[in-house]
Structure 1
Amino acid sequence: MTQSDTRPLTLRDVSEASGVSEMTVSRVLRNRGDVSDATRQKVLASAKELGYVPNKIAGALASSRVNLVAVVIPSMSNLVFPEVMTGISQVLEETELQPVVGLTDYTREKEEKVLYEMLSWRPSGVIIAGLEHSEASRAMLRASGIPVVEIMDVDGTPVDSVVGISHRRAGEQMAAAILKAGYQRIGFMGTSMPRDHRARKRFEGFTGALAKAGVEIVDSAFYEGRSAFVKGREMTKEILERDPELDFLYYSNDMIGAGGLLWLWEQGYDIPGRIGLAGFNGLNLLKGLPKELASMDACRQEIGRQAAEIIVNRLKDGADQAPVRIALEPTISYGDTLRRP
């Protein structure tokens, strides 16, 4: 990002874009004073298009910053993100910066609202999950004038810097390991793809690699809501009732995979002989299962650390530094549910 790209927007920018005075813009954005509906809508539309966010620091200059790093993630109930936060905190605790968390519940509308509120306090940087944002969110991030690091995923075009893994490559690697182990009748279970972009990319990489080897997914099942053991149990039972000859089940995350593993264990299935299983995320929480679920480490804590280090270094060396792209390499853990080649 060049210096001109990172210059914070001001009331004057909104004034010029909307064709009204700075005082009128101020009244609209503070929701004060007598302003016509037409003028109000014109100002709000211009501010949204520019990505302008009001500065809530009373009496401060528009260029001032507070020692906060905005961390925008989908959920804290998803066990992935507490580990990301651990990595972020380990780096920031050595500085004057403090992370402040906003949750989006995997929706673009909530992400816009969270970003608007957080950026209005002029944080020193933003760490935000994913690469898929609304145009309004991207505009706010571009116009913020501060370091932005998108995390978890590198398959796409970032606003600024990015740290993550290639989820398409992760799907391809798991498909290759499954085929090399001799499995052929493969079922897939996961979250509803429109909202879970990273799961969608893994699925695309997975099915693409299978197709190159002349293999297709035999059956699949998708669900809405949080990942849980019960979802994995239910879907595993249902998919095997539809096709008892399936010899491998690939789950979009470890939580539903663990539920499937427990159900199969209770039914007396030979794992990984009769049927193999794999999930994604490499959650340490699941190490106490009767068998260790095959999975792939998503480098969660390291992603958090590297993202925070980018913010710290950019603040130290100047915001006009070139964006950074860090693609980490996840590794497959075969556990006890995927035959080793």
Structure 2
Amino acid sequence: MTQKAPEKAPKKAHEKPRRPLTLRDVSEASGVSEMTVSRVLRNRGDVSDATRVKVLEAAKSLGYVPNQIAGALASNRVNLVAVIIPSLSNMVFPEVLTGISEVLDETPLQPVVGVTNYDPEREEKVLFEMLSWRPSGIIIAGLEHSEASQTMLEAAGIPVVEIMDTDGRPIDSMVGISHRRAGREMANAIWKAGYRNIGFLGTKMPLDHRARKRFEGFTEALAKHGLEIRDKEFYSGGSSLLKGREMTEAILKRTPDLDFLYYSNDMIGAGGLLYCLDNGIDVPGQLGLAGFNGVELLDGLPRRLATMDAGRVEIGRAAAQIIADRVSGEGAEPGVTIELTPRIQIGDTLGRRHVWPIPQE
């Protein structure tokens, strides 16, 4: 007995082809020529609003996505902006990305993120991969790069914006703050408040150039007032409340007469604050505290940590605007430098401790 093969169901008119969609599919669905479809999808040429709506609705219903790589062959560029940052666990950089996205959302450009983990070799690999896609621009954290990364950035032939730091010479443009100035201003604020026995807690300097520069500015300003750092505690890895608690406990047990602790970032500073509150340490009367970054998440702590806002969202916006203007040809010449002013937030942990006279500057 022979078995009859099942008949194939007739293909429905609205059924999408299983092959990759093409301009012809959108053309047939919208009833306009492939050239008109191309103009609409590339936002080029004079096309009526009615036709534009018809094409976009057809493309959306089909799920058609333009092949940007194929479209970029003529220009040798795609509408991507490579954004290379050291960390996503550090709350600073998601805020920078927010600023970048706010600006690029108004343009055809899209950010693509690579993470280096503060590792120069990893930065080389990420940069190599990003550049192989021929992006329209690069936004990269920091001014210090390996020789290989420096060479790739200089030879890229596209706008490069180095962000977060202005203490150095950029390859092209830079947007950020002077971290040495930030360290100096915090040291002066601590000294004016009457603290004299100061400890520092932070990341290992070879891996974090910006923290190193703040530390250099901090110690430089203290030296002008005749002071030195009494003790230091360092760590490696991501910032965390737990590490801040552990480091604070270690440094206070080792040097119990410290009257101020300056942390390289707010997260470990918040951990230090919680340790002090749990152990009955009077903050800021017995021990003052300050961090860096102005992280809003920590506003819910029992005390507001003294800190410094580096304008992270503003940095992202400014960097993205430079890229967008350069790509569109509407301005922003190479070599732009935008230096923002870090702002001290006194909070509840940087009160005046002593009453001796403060010399006039």
Same fold (TM over 0.5): yes
CA distance in 1, matches of 2:85, 2:334: 24
Q: What amino acid sits opposite 1:175 in the alignment? A: A
2:355 counterpart residue number? none
1:19 counterpart residue number? none
How far the C-alpha of 1:270 sits from its partner, in A, is: 1.1
Q: What amino acid sits opposite 1:161 in the alignment? A: S
After superposition, the Cα gap between the structure-2 partners of 1:176 and 1:59, relative to the gap in structure 1 and judged at 3 Å, is: closer
CA contact (8 A) 1:277 1:337 kept: yes
Residue 75 in structure 1 maps to residue 87 in structure 2: yes
Q: What amino acid sits opposite 1:177 in the alignment? A: A
2:280 counterpart residue number? 268
CA distance in 2, matches of 1:209, 1:303: 26
CA contact (8 A) 1:155 1:167 kept: yes
**Gaps spanning 5+ residues in structure 1: where?**
1-55
Alignment of 1:126-137 (within 5 A): 126-137=138-149
CA distance in 2, matches of 1:135, 1:328: 28
Tell which has more relative contact order, 1 or 2 (C-alpha 8 A, sep 6+). Answer: 1
After superposition, the Cα gap between the structure-2 partners of 1:236 and 1:311, relative to the gap in structure 1 and judged at 3 Å, is: same
Percent identical:
70
CA distance in 2, matches of 1:168, 1:224: 21
Deviations 1:143-188 (A, max 9, x none): 1111000000011111100000000000000000000000000000
After superposition, the Cα gap between the structure-2 partners of 1:175 and 1:329, relative to the gap in structure 1 and judged at 3 Å, is: same
1:196 counterpart residue number? 208
Residue 247 in structure 1 maps to residue 259 in structure 2: yes
CA contact (8 A) 1:73 1:104 kept: yes
2:334 counterpart residue number? 322
CA contact (8 A) 2:290 2:307 kept: yes
CA distance in 1, matches of 2:79, 2:219: 45
CA contact (8 A) 1:147 1:319 kept: no
CA distance in 2, matches of 1:177, 1:228: 25
CA contact (8 A) 2:322 2:332 kept: no
How far the C-alpha of 1:210 sits from its partner, in A, is: 0.2
Q: Secondary structure at the match of 1:271?
A: coil
1:84 counterpart residue number? 96
Alignment of 1:1-341 (within 5 A): 61=73, 63-317=75-329, 321-339=333-351
Question: Which protein shows a greater Rg?
Answer: 2
CA contact (8 A) 1:229 1:260 kept: yes
CA distance in 2, matches of 1:211, 1:203: 12
CA contact (8 A) 2:140 2:163 kept: yes
After superposition, the Cα gap between the structure-2 partners of 1:339 and 1:57, relative to the gap in structure 1 and judged at 3 Å, is: same
CA distance in 2, matches of 1:324, 1:95: 20
After superposition, the Cα gap between the structure-2 partners of 1:58 and 1:276, relative to the gap in structure 1 and judged at 3 Å, is: same
Q: Secondary structure at the match of 1:122?
A: coil
Q: Secondary structure at the match of 2:176?
A: strand
The two structures have a TM-score, normalised by structure 2, of 0.77
Deviations 1:83-116 (A, max 9, x none): 0000000000000000000011111111111111
CA contact (8 A) 2:72 2:78 kept: no
**Gaps spanning 5+ residues in structure 2: where?**
1-67, 353-357
User: More deviation in 61-70 or 87-96?
Assistant: 61-70
CA distance in 1, matches of 2:345, 2:76: 47
CA contact (8 A) 1:146 1:319 kept: no
RMSD value, Cα: 1.7
2:51 counterpart residue number? none
CA contact (8 A) 1:221 1:235 kept: yes
Q: What amino acid sits opposite 2:292 in the alignment? A: F
1:45 counterpart residue number? none
How far the C-alpha of 1:316 sits from its partner, in A, is: 2.0
After superposition, the Cα gap between the structure-2 partners of 1:240 and 1:320, relative to the gap in structure 1 and judged at 3 Å, is: closer
CA distance in 1, matches of 2:296, 2:118: 24
CA distance in 2, matches of 1:193, 1:320: 34
Q: What amino acid sits opposite 1:131 in the alignment? A: L
Deviations 1:9-47 (A, max 9, x none): xxxxxxxxxxxxxxxxxxxxxxxxxxxxxxxxxxxxxxx
